[in-house]
Structure 1
């Protein structure tokens, strides 16, 4: 293990658009360098599987950024720490996180997820029927994007006709998760993301008012009824929750489906195998989550002085966990840079761990399984028509276009 001369310079490589198609050599460089500590920035970057796993599981790891030293300094300087208002429960800690997650979890119960399977299958079949007519398609536009968007809109009660508007806002907000300020101090695109965030919350408030007078069989209506029954759920909490699920419910699943298709087309034997045997879908999905995860990094705040692996993290410091590096740690994965769904053990942190384990994991897995099984069966001879292009996102790294000939 070698210590980098300039940790920040190495981390800044992750922000370089030139590596978006393949950031993994940079992640490996960071992994080989070991934990990076930048006391002046109150930042600690962890990349090994063991360290990342420990951070996500640790009882003193917090998700509320207001507990960070950086946020407290900003508040003391008179800055507004939460310009959009109440955050989604993903960015809260108990007891608020526990209460909100419990209320929302009913919409993602095994029974509800299972009941969606026929509709998901029908949606996929309809999308692939359109592909049949052309002989070539962009996987993002033709399958990976419309499927999860339709599903999350149905769950929440968001009109699918409004999808182009909130999808555009969602793309901007997803880029807001990237560590520009943390790594470089830059605030590029901040104004556009502010406007997108404020617009989306305003849109959801208007929809909330319509649902009050015209309730439906959806999550937003269910949360309104909970609020009206006096379960301490505010309007801002409902808006924040729906905002979170709308973005998290489709950005990540788009990436999962597209990344799996790309990996299989570059490793043809797995495309052919899944085409013949849909039971292989689960292994394909788990290996994709390890090999090319939809969420590449996450962060936590130290709620107390902590020991993570070989380093000490003072209370209030930020811990950044590089999931994309951890998944290719040779300590937990043999031949880590190979896509191999047949490997004996597939370990990953793609859905997190502990209290913040992804609520939508079962739904994402089902959507991906239905989509991947259907597309490989329908088009056994599919091939890449061109190299993919990527969005600028670092955290929610994903493709902008993936052309496939069928």
Structure 2
């Protein structure tokens, strides 16, 4: 097939269970492949990494030549901003979350994450197949990020529909009318932001030790997010704090069930688990693509990409690039040279990565004894619609 239809084929739901042959086709046709809609795909590791570090590449949707100032494009999180504004907001968001100002916060969650995981294991159903998504991979990170933010336990179920709408609106869909998805996403974002701002307001002057409390009780006005920035940032933390981890855990279980000899290896040698999580981030990553736009005309490997053209960096293809990884299509939980793109790279490197790693290690470590004798109810399982945040919608397993 023509290489200029690759993005349409990659995002075609029929290819969701196994997009990797298309990624190999992309790398063979690349390193830069123009699409029929005028955008570009990049699938090679070294070119993706270079572009993620290139200040001429913008994460801001307003840099796209197709962007128009409408109500659907307001209030970008720092994920969709460029420096210096990206750096300012990200730095302020990081202060109560991680180093250098709060170096122990995430690590201090290890015990609580272990307890949450134990409770989930104890409550797994015995009268039906276990759905790894609904019974483990979703409730664990949602519970963790809600506790970090200070969301009451009884309100956690509110977030699933909001999250689903926001993630659907953020998906890459070439040549499709996304007006309805954009509208639903905007409504969900507004409702979630209003909820979180109200919760933060209840903590102003009454610190409770959670992230929302720390944000609103920052004593230095110069180090406070504005109310608008706080609402958008808290929304981002809640969504990003669980969506990718759900896929990481689910894809991990699916991979181990497809490689029972490696599951047994990890059961016998649990010290390999941290390396195994890194390999899962490379081999079956939770995030497959990111979109960028050049601020000026740039040349990549002899191809000129015009200013404002949409550029899709296929991270999952880069992490399977044989020019960078030895036997990239082999799952090797002991792989040592593993600088994957599972959490991105450059200034937008996922700052929640340490938390996601702890959660994935806890969940997979707790499930490993069961996985050795488990089997999938169906393979491939039903996948979520999203091609960018790729993972099973359900993963039923029998012990």
Report the TM-score when normalising by structure 1. 0.90
Q: Give the 3-state SS of the residue equivalent to 1:258 in structure 2.
A: helix
Give the aligned partner of residue 98 of structure 2. Answer: 108
Counterpart among 17, 37, 43 of residue 34 in structure 2: 37
Asked whether the 8 Å contact 1:256–1:288 carries over to 2, the reply is: yes
CA-CA distance at 1:397 after TM superposition: 0.9
Tell me which residue corresponds to 2:335: 343
Q: What is the CA deviation profile of residues 371-398 of structure 1, one whole-angstrom value per residue up to 9, with x for unaligned ones?
A: 1112113554223233322111111111
Task: Classify the secondary structure of the residue corresponding to 2:312.
Answer: strand
Which stretches in structure 2 are left out of the alignment for 5+ residues?
A: none
| Higher mean C-alpha displacement, 165-174 vs 131-140 | 131-140
Residue pair 2:275, 2:336 contacting (<8 A) in 1 also: no
The answer for unaligned runs of 5 or more in structure 1 is none
Q: How many Å separate the matches in 2 of 1:118 and 1:330? A: 39
The residue that corresponds to 2:238 in the other structure is 246
Inter-partner Cα distance in structure 2 for 1:6 and 1:342: 35
Mapping for residues 219-258 of structure 1, pairs under 5 Å = 219-226=211-218, 229-231=221-223, 233-258=225-250
More displaced 10-residue stretch of structure 1: 334-343 or 132-141: 132-141
SS in structure 1 opposite 2:41?
strand
1:205-257 Cα deviation digits (max 9, x unpaired):
32232222643211111111237734352100000000111111100001001
Pairs within 5 Å for 1:303-382: 303-377=295-369, 380-382=372-374
Alignment correspondent of 1:92: 81
CA contact (8 A) 1:31 1:325 kept: yes
Give SS of 1:36's match: strand
Match of 2:175 among 160, 184, 188: 184
- What is the CA–CA distance in structure 1 between the aligned matches of 2:292 and 2:7, rounded to whole Å? 17
Distance 1:113 1:344 in 2: 25
Name 1:18's counterpart in structure 2.
Answer: 14
- The answer to whether the 8 A contact 2:298-2:306 is kept is yes
Matched with 1:209 is 201
* Cα distance in 1 for residues equivalent to 2:17 and 2:176: 24
Deviation digits for residues 337-366 of structure 1 (CA, Å, limit 9, x no counterpart): 222223342231111111111101111111
**C-alpha separation in 2, matches of 1:316 and 1:31:** 23
Q: CA deviation at 1:156?
A: 1.1
Q: Are the aligned partners of 1:276 and 1:377 in contact in 2 as well (CA < 8 Å)?
A: no
Q: Following TM superposition, by how much is the alpha carbon of 1:261 offset from its aligned partner in structure 2, in angstroms?
A: 0.9
How far is 1:169 from its partner?
Answer: 0.9
Q: How many residues align?
A: 392
Q: 1:87 & 1:176 partners in 2: Cα distance?
A: 13
> For residues 72 and 397 of structure 2, what CA distance do their matches in structure 1 show?
44
Report the Cα distance in structure 2 between the residues aligned to 1:163 and 1:232, rounded to whole angstroms: 26
CA distance in 2: counterparts of 1:233 and 1:373, whole angstroms: 37
Give the match for residue 161 of structure 2: 168
Matches of 2:382 and 2:3 in 1, distance apart? Answer: 30
Q: Please tell me whether the aligned partners of residues 42 and 69 of structure 1 are also in contact (alpha carbons under 8 angstroms).
A: no
Match of 1:194 among 174, 186, 198: 186
Q: Secondary structure at the match of 1:202?
A: helix
Within 1, Cα distance between the matches of 2:172 and 2:71?
19
1:159 maps to 152
Equivalent-residue separation in structure 2 for 1:379 and 1:335 (angstroms): 25
Q: What are the equivalent positions in structure 2 for 1:130-169 lying under 5 Å apart?
A: 130-131=123-124, 133-134=126-127, 136-169=129-162
Q: SS at 2:218's partner residue? A: helix
